[in-house]
């Protein structure tokens, strides 16, 4: 048998593999607008040293300027459950909802990506207990995350912190799904 009989199919398979691997970052990261939802656990510091669940709605845009770099902008709404605490020796509760605007930057390894995010959170806190009132403010929010996705659908696991002095820091661990258009 001639050598070209084995060489041509091998070259065709190699070329097809190279094209598939080069397209993987585009399929995984998903350039364009996205929407998503998630749920997780919130932990508060200070007077409300407790844990509760939260849910989150997310929307944003991924820029596809560089092949291995993920860049994006995101807005989110987060609503926590009730955190129990002790303020001045008295029992109290805290519920927080926030609107967040953040920039994202990360690395894309095909269907897997790692990213960091930072921005601002506009929050409203309902504090219930004797002598307590509601609070609100705008403070920094930042975090890190990992995503795994293919063909516009991505699962994400992320840690975020709202750095608010008035209600102490809120740490959030969220598992979610986003769909890129």
pLDDT value, residue 23: 44
Taking the C-alpha atoms of residue 81 and residue 95, their distance in angstroms, rounded to an integer, is 6
Q: Tokens 């504090």 — which residue?
A: 127
Which of 118, 111, 143 lies closest to 30 in space, CA to CA? 111
Task: Report the chain (181 residues): mean pLDDT per 10 consecutive residues.
Answer: 53 52 46 94 89 96 86 96 88 94 93 96 92 91 95 94 90 96 88
List C-alpha distances in Å: 141 to 35, 45, 157, 169.
20, 15, 16, 10
pLDDT value, residue 165: 86
Contacts of 25 (CB under 8 A, 6+ apart): 67, 68, 108, 110
3-state secondary structure the chain: CCCHHHHHHHHHHHHHHHHHHHHHHHHHHCCEEEEEEEEEEEEECHHHCCEEEEEEEEEEEEECCCCCEEEEEEEEEEEECCEEEEECCEEEEEEEEEEEEEEEEEEEECCEEEEEEEEEEEEEEEEECCCCCCEEEEEEEEEEEEEEEECCEEEEEEEEEECCCCCCCEEEEEEEEEEEC
Q: What's the whole-model pTM score?
A: 0.80
pLDDT value, residue 130: 84
pLDDT value, residue 58: 97
pLDDT value, residue 103: 97
pLDDT value, residue 73: 97
Contact assessment for residue 42 and residue 54, using Cβ atoms and an 8 Å cutoff: yes
Going from the N-terminus, what domains does the chain have, and what CATH number goes with each?
4-180 (2.40.160.20)
């Amino acid at each position: 048998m001639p050598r070209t009989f084995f060489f041509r199919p091998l070259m065709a398979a190699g070329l097809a593999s190279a094209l598939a691997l080069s397209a993987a970052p585009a399929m995984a990261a998903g350039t364009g607008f996205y929407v998503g939802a998630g749920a997780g656990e919130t932990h508060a510091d200070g007077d409300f040293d407790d844990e509760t669940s939260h849910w989150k709605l997310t929307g944003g845009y991924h820029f596809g300027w560089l092949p291995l770099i993920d860049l994006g902008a995101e807005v989110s709404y987060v609503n926590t459950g009730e955190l129990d605490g002790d303020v001045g020796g008295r029992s109290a509760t805290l519920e927080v909802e926030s609107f967040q605007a953040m920039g994202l930057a990360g690395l894309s390894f095909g269907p897997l990506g790692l990213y960091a995010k930072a921005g601002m959170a506009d929050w409203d806190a309902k504090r219930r207990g004797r002598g307590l009132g509601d609070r609100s403010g705008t403070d920094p929010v930042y975090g890190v995350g990992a995503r795994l996705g293919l063909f516009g659908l991505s699962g994400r696991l992320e840690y975020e912190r709202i750095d608010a002095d008035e209600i102490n820091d809120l740490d959030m661990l969220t598992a979610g799904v986003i769909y890129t258009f």
